[in-house]
Amino acid sequence: MERLEFATRAGLIVFDYRKAAFLPDCETLLVADLHFEKASYLQAIGGAPLPTYDTMDTLARLDALIDHFQPRHVAALGDSFHDIAAGERMSARDFDAANALVARVSRFTWILGNHDPDIPDGLIGGREDHLQCGDFLLTHLPTHPFGTVGVNLCGHLHPKVRVQTRRGGVARPCFAVSRQRIILPSFGTFTGGLDVGHPAIADELDGPRAFFATTPRGVIPLDG
C-alpha cells in the first residue's frame, strides 16, 4: 500500500512510501533530513564524481507530495541543508524553486538541525527549534515529548531496516516506531541510513516497536 494509517497515543499519522508522513488532524506534511547540496559539498571537499542534481531532485519529490496531500502546513525536521555553506553553493534556479515551493502552502517551518543551525538568508518560511502539533512534538534530534500522551516525531538518525525479497535481504529506509517516539526516514536524494538495530536508534525506542519500510511498491509493516 502506498500509504498506511497508524494510530498513536497522540493521534493518527499516515506513513507514505515516498519517505514522508502526514498528520491529518494538523494538516501537516512531514519530511526529515533533506540534506540539500550534499553532492556539491562532497565535490568541494574531495572532488567526488557525483552529479550535483540532488537538491533539484529532492525539491521535485517534495513538490509532488504537496500536490498529493494538499497540506496546510509543511514541516522539515532539520538537516534540510547539508552544511552551513550549502546556501552559497545552491544554484539560483534551485534557490528560487525552494522559495516557490515554500510559497505554495499556508505555512512552512524549517526546524533547525545539527547540520543546519541556521537557514540561508533569503529563503522564506519560519525557523523553529521545535514545534508542537497537538500532542505531537516535532524536533530534529530525539527529544522527550511533552505531557503524558505525547509522541516525539524526529529525524537525524536516517533509520533503515532489512526487507526480505526473493533475492535476499535488502536495506530500505523506514519509519522506526515506538510508544513515545517515531523516527522518520531521511528524505534527501543522496543520504544514507543506519540499521534500526544500531544502539543509536534502538536506545531511542521505548517499549514495543515496529518498523514500516518504504519501498517503490509501498509501505511494508515489519514486526519489531
CB 152 within 8 A of CB 180: yes
pLDDT higher than 70, residue 48: no
pTM score of the predicted model? 0.95
The per-residue pLDDT of the chain, averaged, comes to 94
What average pLDDT does range 199-220 have in this prediction? Answer: 95
- The helix-helix angle for 38-46 and 54-69 (nearest 10°) equals 170
Q: Whose CA is closest to 23, among 38, 43, 7?
A: 7
pLDDT higher than 90, residue 162: yes
Sign of CA dihedral 141, 144, 146, 149: positive
Torsion of CA 108, 118, 143, 161, to 10 degrees: 80
Residues 56, 71: Cα–Cα separation, whole Å: 21
Domains of the chain: 3-223 (3.60.21)
pLDDT higher than 70, residue 159: yes
H or E stretch including 195? strand 194-195
Q: What is the CA radius of gyration of the chain?
A: 17
Residues 174, 219: Cα–Cα separation, whole Å: 9
